[in-house]
């Protein structure tokens, strides 16, 4: 249980285009999903917390107009990188929160999406 998928796994795009990344919880419902970004050899940095049916909460320094997050259902959240530029190239990982194992809210992660903006 607690499987999270992410699509696509790889994206290469031209500067100025928008890229949409999907995050799905496959076998559980997640009222809260999270989006992280990870640069090479660095730790995960939380970008935003997404609650189903409400606006996402962004971390300080993350541009909400650049990184659009939609959490339309209990199993799907999307991150859209608008007008992507080379500095947006990174590894984007989503997670979905669940209490199914009785450990309190535990985050289960998707496999990540590598974005390369040319």
What are the residues binding another protein (CB under 8 A)? 2, 32, 34, 38, 42-44, 46, 49, 51, 57, 91, 93, 95, 97, 103-112, 114
For another protein, the closer CB: 86 or 104: 104
C-alpha closest to that of 8 among 81, 98, 67: 81
Closest distance between another protein and the C-beta of residue 91, in Å?
6
CB of 115 vs another protein, minimal distance in Å = 12
Task: Give the C-alpha separation, 93 to 47, whole Å.
Answer: 10
Q: Nearer Cβ to another protein, position 14 or 40? A: 40
d(CA 105, CA 118): 38
Extended strands (E) in 17-112? 19-25, 32-38, 45-51, 57-58, 67-73, 76-81, 90-98, 106-109
Q: Name which of 19 and 110 has its Cβ closer to another protein.
A: 110
User: Which is closer to another protein, CB of 8 or CB of 111?
Assistant: 111
């Amino acid at each position: 249980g607690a499987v999270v998928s992410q699509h696509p796994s790889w994206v290469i795009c031209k500067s100025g285009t928008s890229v949409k990344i999907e995050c799905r919880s496959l076998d559980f419902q997640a009222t809260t999903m999270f989006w992280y970004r990870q640069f090479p050899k660095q730790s995960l940095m939380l970008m935003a917390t997404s609650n189903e049916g409400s606006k996402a909460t962004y971390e300080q320094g993350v541009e909400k107009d650049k990184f659009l997050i939609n959490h339309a259902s209990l199993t799907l959240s999307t991150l859209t990188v608008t007008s992507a530029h080379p500095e947006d190239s990174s590894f984007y990982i989503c997670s979905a929160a669940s209490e199914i194992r009785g450990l309190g809210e535990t985050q289960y992660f998707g496999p990540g999406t590598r974005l390369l903006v040319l």
